Amino acid sequence: MSIHKDITIYDIAEALNLSPATVSRGLKEHPSIRKDTRKRILDKAKEMGYRQNFFASNLRRNRTNTIGVIVPRLNSYFMSAVIAGMEKIANQAGYNLIISQSMESVAKEIVNAKTLYNTRVDGLLVSLAYGTDDISHFEDLLEKGVPLIFFDRVFDHPLCTSIVIDNYKAGYEVTQHLISQGCRRIVHATASLKRNVYADRLKGYKHALSDNGIPYDEKLVFINNLSEQASTEVCKTLLQMEPRPDAIFASNDAFAVNCIRELKQAGISIPQDIAVAGFNNDPLSKVIEPNLTTVNYPGNEMGEVAASTLIRRLDLQHGTSLNTIVLRHELIVRESSLRKPKV
């Protein structure tokens, strides 16, 4: 295994009897370089097996061409779609992604932010953990002028753009749909209201109830971490309620699916006894029986939009930009909530 020394622009310059500066320019798309010398340089570079040393370049230019990503978890269909979208855009634009997971822990999120700060990422794409109260751990980055873009679980900050869907509207639509199916005692299971996605859906839920003259009953709202265990507990509680709830609107599909499994095991029939709706349009939703009513969440698009917004800002030193970008969602009605013939 021979470990050859790396070829530098000096080697190319020497071989071509040029100055390193010219070679450096030739390797890029510098305007003031003759076309044929550029070609000679490129050819020689390939011939000699040259590869750019990004560290030298980064050191010099004070830029890393790296984008940091912090997500709660990587293990959902939604999140892999987001990442795939980001990767596509980032790679096209010559950026690398460094992905890290907070595992829903504020502490880990803080560590991640610090690591990315030290790595000197050019920009940051973040979806917040359940418990995050403030974004002081990103202050250092922001002070350095590193653009920060939130997606999905966002935070209101004058310097940061947010990419979201209209969670309020989606929550309203799901609830309205359940009501239209004849449900009146609708459980809403969701997670930390510190996060816009959950708070907004809850608002939509409440608003739909009131628009239909159904009183809001806080006993029907369950705030938890949407884990499997939580679904078990919610179902147990719910089955003991009197009168029994006739629908569940869960803030993600995994939770909804677990509820369906749990309830079916308890002899409840879905949707006749209890109708169920989820959120995200995870492939799971088409595996569970009955198939799950849910909200399509454009993960891939969200990743692409987040990345391209960031990169635009990076490349053009683009000062101001939209503060919030709202992507389109879509209610998908399936059997788990269909008690009446489809209109």
Partner DNA sequence: CTGTTAGCGCTTTCAT
Partner DNA sequence: ATGAAAGCGCTAACAG
Interacting residue ranges for DNA, rule: CB under 7 A = 6, 8-10, 17-22, 24-25, 27-28, 31-35, 37, 50, 52-53, 56-57, 59-62
Q: Strands across the sheet with 275-277, in order?
A: 221-223, 186-190, 247-250, 275-277
Query: Which one among 115, 224, 232, 321 touches a copy of itself, defined by CB under 8 A?
Result: 115
- Single-letter code of the amino acid located at 214: I
Cβ closest to a copy of itself, residue 58 vs residue 308: 58
How is residue 218 annotated by DSSP? G
Question: Whose Cβ is closer to DNA: residue 19's or residue 212's?
Answer: 19
Residue 323 within binding range of a copy of itself, rule CB under 8 A: no
Letters for 282-311 (x = contact with a copy of itself by CB under 8 A, - = none) are: -xx-xxxx----------------------
Main-chain dihedrals φ then ψ at residue 188, nearest 5 degrees: -120, 120
Closer CB to DNA, 59 or 107, in the complex: 59
Residue 4 DSSP symbol: P
Token pair for 301:
């698009």
Near a copy of itself by CB under 8 A: residue from 15, 74, 199, 223: 74
CB 98 within 8 A of CB 67: yes
Rounded alpha-carbon distances, angstroms, from residue 31 to 22, 38, 57, 94, 201: 12, 10, 19, 20, 52
Using CB under 8 A as the binding rule, the residues of this chain from 137 to 156 that contact a copy of itself are 140, 142-145
Q: What is the DSSP letter of 53?
A: -
Sign of the Cα pseudo-torsion (287, 288, 292, 294, in order): negative
Residue 77 lies near a copy of itself (rule: CB under 8 A): yes
Shortest CB 49 distance to DNA, Å: 12
Beta strands in 169-274 (DSSP E): 186-190, 221-223, 247-250
What does each C-alpha distance from 40 to 12, 14, 342 come to in angstroms? 10, 13, 68
Smallest distance, a copy of itself to C-beta of residue 300, A = 11
Query: Which residue of 19, 53, 92, 225 would you call a contact of a copy of itself, by CB under 8 A?
Result: 53
Which stretches of the chain bind a copy of itself, using CB under 8 A? 1-4, 49, 51-56, 58-59, 64, 73-75, 77, 80-81, 83-84, 87, 91, 96-101, 103, 115, 117-120, 140, 142-145, 159, 254, 257, 261, 283-284, 286-289
